[in-house]
């Protein structure tokens, strides 16, 4: 398993995923194999672990990577299904006023996000991968993720500043803290 790039490239070509996601799967497999080896050999040195990882069969590594990719796909499918169920429970198609109100609230939240982060958030909401977002905006994947994170943090800050329920947000509009810290 010494040549991680070989496995990253294999995942990218086999499952058509972006290299960052493939690298994550390879890292997860490495950690898994390392944990198993450490459990069986608690006094093993770093050299022993590296030798063990070097001697893993291609079939075992391939099986681990396929299994992790399939689990990731199943998890995303479950999350999408749960989101769809939640949306159908929360938004009645027969209540256009409720739909319009939620749309306005959503637009108000998006307006709190800086322009460059808003582009990333909108593309992400449309279902684009981090790699596709980065390509569309001519930035790297790390920059896309950072813009997204900053945008979400801005929305959270805005929501906290509008919160006057100390149980929910920990402070009230006067700025006083609630709970055990008082």
Can you tell me whether residue 177 is helix, strand or coil?
Answer: strand
Same domain, 1 and 78: yes
The count of structural domains within the chain is 2
> pLDDT digits over 148-163, tens only?
888 888 877 777 666 5
Q: How confident is the model at residue 166 (pLDDT cuts 50, 70, 90)?
A: low
In a domain, 172, yes or no: no
What pLDDT does 125 receive?
83
HEC profile of 67-84: HHHHHHHHHHHHHHHHHH
Residue 171 β-bridge partners: 177
The overall average pLDDT reported for the chain is 82
Please check whether residue 70 lies inside any domain of the structure: yes
pLDDT cut 90: percent of the chain above it: 44
CATH number of domain containing 120: 1.10.10.10
The answer on pLDDT for 177 being more than 50 is no
pTM, entire model: 0.46
**pLDDT at residue 140 is higher than 70:** yes
Q: Are residues 77 and 26 in the same domain?
A: yes
pLDDT digits 0-9 by tens, 60-78:
999 999 999 998 888 888 8
Would you say residue 182 lies in a domain? no
Average pLDDT rounded to a whole number, residues 1-23 = 88
Confirm whether 9 is domain-assigned: yes
Query: Looking at the structure, do residues 10 and 61 belong to the same domain, yes or no?
Result: yes
Is 96 a residue whose pLDDT tops 80? no
- 19 and 71 part of one domain: yes
Report if residue 157 sits inside a domain: yes
Taking CA 124 as the corner, what is the angle to CA 122 and CA 127, rounded to the nearest 5 degrees?
Answer: 115
- Has residue 176 got a pLDDT over 80? no
- Quote the domain boundaries for residue 5: 1-90
- Beta bridge partners, 177, equal 171
Nearest-10 Cα torsion for 88, 91, 96, 100: -130
pLDDT, one tens digit per residue, over 32-64 is: 999 999 999 999 999 999 999 999 999 999 999
Q: Both 42 and 67 in a single domain?
A: yes
Same domain for 161 and 107, yes or no, is: yes
Task: Note whether residue 176 is domain-resident.
Answer: no
Least confident of 2-16, 44-58, 79-93, 156-170: 156-170
Do residues 12 and 56 both lie within one domain? yes
């Amino acid at each position: 398993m010494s040549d991680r790039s070989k496995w990253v490239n294999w995942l990218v070509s086999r499952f058509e995923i972006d290299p960052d996601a493939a690298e994550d799967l390879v890292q997860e497999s490495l950690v898994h194999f390392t944990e198993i080896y450490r459990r069986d050999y608690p006094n093993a040195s770093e050299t022993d672990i590296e030798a063990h990882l070097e001697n893993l069969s291609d079939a075992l590594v391939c099986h681990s990577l396929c299994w992790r990719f399939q689990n990731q796909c199943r998890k995303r499918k479950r999350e999408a299904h749960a989101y769809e169920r939640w949306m159908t429970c929360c938004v009645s198609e027969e209540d256009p006023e409720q739909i319009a109100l939620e749309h306005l609230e959503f637009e108000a939240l998006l307006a709190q996000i800086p322009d460059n982060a808003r582009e990333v958030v909108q593309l992400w909401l449309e279902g684009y991968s981090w790699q596709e977002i980065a390509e569309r905006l001519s930035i790297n994947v790390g920059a896309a993720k950072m813009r997204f994170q900053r945008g979400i943090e801005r929305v959270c800050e805005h929501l906290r500043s509008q919160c006057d329920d100390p149980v929910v947000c920990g402070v009230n509009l006067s700025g006083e803290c609630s709970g055990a810290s008082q």
